[in-house]
């Protein structure tokens, strides 16, 4: 089962925007040069005709791009080797697809097993790798009229928080609601003052690597959904809390991650003397001092 592409469009802002070039921040260039994204499933439970109306979505997408105009641009390399966002209103690629041999109900009945989820619900083909576009959206209609929206946004442009706020604000525009406009001034992350001579041990400095999209090899992956009820989660937390004082308590998430990390290391038969690191990206908008506005659109991943 695969999604079949019916039409490919380019959606541009509904009015002329600032044709500027935005240099990437240090946080941007530390991100991998790949497209990140998600697939959202919208069930047509009421069997409405024209569910998730494409025309309305296209109109509101063009409207929200007036604020998120960098997403309608491309990446370019300058003569000195720097990468910039060229805000040229080339547009966001919008793919219209169908998957007429399965319904959302069937996916639910099979417990969302990976093997039965149709292939191609998220865009994977980049039209131009020389000056790549920055955002691709795919609208796929199922046999029962349900819809998926697949998003692919270049990681140099924004982080997960920025992607989610864009999707949320697109929804607000569709409902004709007001939004908090994004901030595109990446100089907010420009370093200033003298860096500290001492770096706490819990932090480490990551040097940017010379890497291209073609260098990234995706291994073969098998997926499985694990479900933990409240009792099991409490047992895990109690188990991993043994010997830890109240001042250094661990959360349920800490316990679950520890459990997965330990079992993963064991399953891979990693040498007991090997150094391994389990790390998590952190949204730095509230962490930095002074804080970065939540509406800042770019990478603030620590």
Q: Specify the long-range contacts of residues 278-286, CB closer than 8 Å, at least 24 apart.
A: 281/159, 281/160, 283/159, 283/160, 283/161, 284/27, 285/161
Is the pLDDT at 200 greater than 80? The verdict is no
User: What does the alpha-carbon distance between residue 213 and residue 27 come to, in Å, rounded to a whole number?
Assistant: 18
Is the pLDDT score of 287 beyond 70? yes
Whole-prediction pTM: 0.82
- Look at the domain 4-189 and name its fold: Chloramphenicol Acetyltransferase (3.30.559)
What is residue 117's predicted lDDT score, i.e. its pLDDT? 87
Contacts of 183 (CB under 8 A, 6+ apart): 293, 295, 296, 297
- Alpha-carbon torsion 229, 232, 238, 240, what sign? negative
pLDDT at residue 204 in the model: 56
pLDDT value of position 294? 93
In this structure, what token pair is assigned to residue 299? 């990478």
Question: Domain map of the chain by residue range?
Answer: 4-189, 226-267
Q: pLDDT tens digits for 85-115?
A: 999 999 999 999 999 999 999 999 988 887 7
Higher pLDDT, 52 or 221: 52
Stretch (H or E) spanning 298: none
CA 84 to each of CA 17, 63, 217: distance values in angstroms, whole numbers, following the listed order? 17, 24, 25
Residue scoring higher pLDDT (204 or 172) = 172
pLDDT over threshold 90, residue 213: no
If you average pLDDT over every residue of the chain, what do you get? 87
């Amino acid at each position: 089962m695969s999604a079949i592409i019916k039409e490919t469009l380019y959606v541009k802002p509904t009015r002329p925007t600032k044709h500027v070039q935005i240099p990437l921040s240090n946080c941007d260039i530390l991100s991998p040069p790949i497209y990140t994204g998600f697939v959202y499933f919208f069930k047509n439970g009421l069997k409405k005709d024209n569910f998730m109306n494409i025309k309305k979505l296209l109109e509101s997408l063009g409207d929200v791009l007036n604020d998120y105009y960098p997403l309608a641009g491309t990446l370019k390399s300058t003569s000195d080797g720097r990468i910039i966002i060229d805000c040229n209103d080339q547009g966001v690629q919008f793919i219209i697809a169908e998957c007429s041999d399965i319904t959302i109900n069937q996916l639910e009945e099979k417990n969302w097993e990976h093997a039965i989820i149709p292939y191609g619900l998220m865009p994977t083909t980049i039209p131009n790798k020389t000056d790549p576009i920055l955002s691709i959206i795919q609208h796929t209609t199922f046999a029962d009229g349900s819809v998926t929206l697949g998003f692919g946004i270049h990681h140099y442009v924004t982080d997960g928080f920025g992607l989610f706020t864009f999707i949320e604000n697109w929804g607000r525009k569709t409902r004709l609601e007001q939004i908090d406009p994004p901030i595109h001034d990446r100089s907010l992350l420009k370093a200033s003052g003298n860096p500290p001579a001492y770096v706490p041990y819990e932090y480490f400095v990551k040097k940017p690597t010379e890497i291209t999209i073609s260098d990234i090899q995706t291994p073969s992956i098998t997926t499985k959904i694990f479900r933990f009820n409240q009792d099991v989660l409490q047992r895990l937390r109690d188990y991993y809390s043994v010997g830890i004082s109240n001042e250094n308590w661990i959360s349920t998430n800490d316990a679950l991650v520890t459990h997965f990390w330990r079992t993963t290391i064991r399953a891979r038969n990693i040498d007991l003397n090997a150094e391994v690191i389990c790390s998590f990206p952190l949204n730095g908008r509230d962490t930095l001092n002074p804080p970065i506005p939540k509406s800042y659109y770019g990478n603030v991943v620590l």
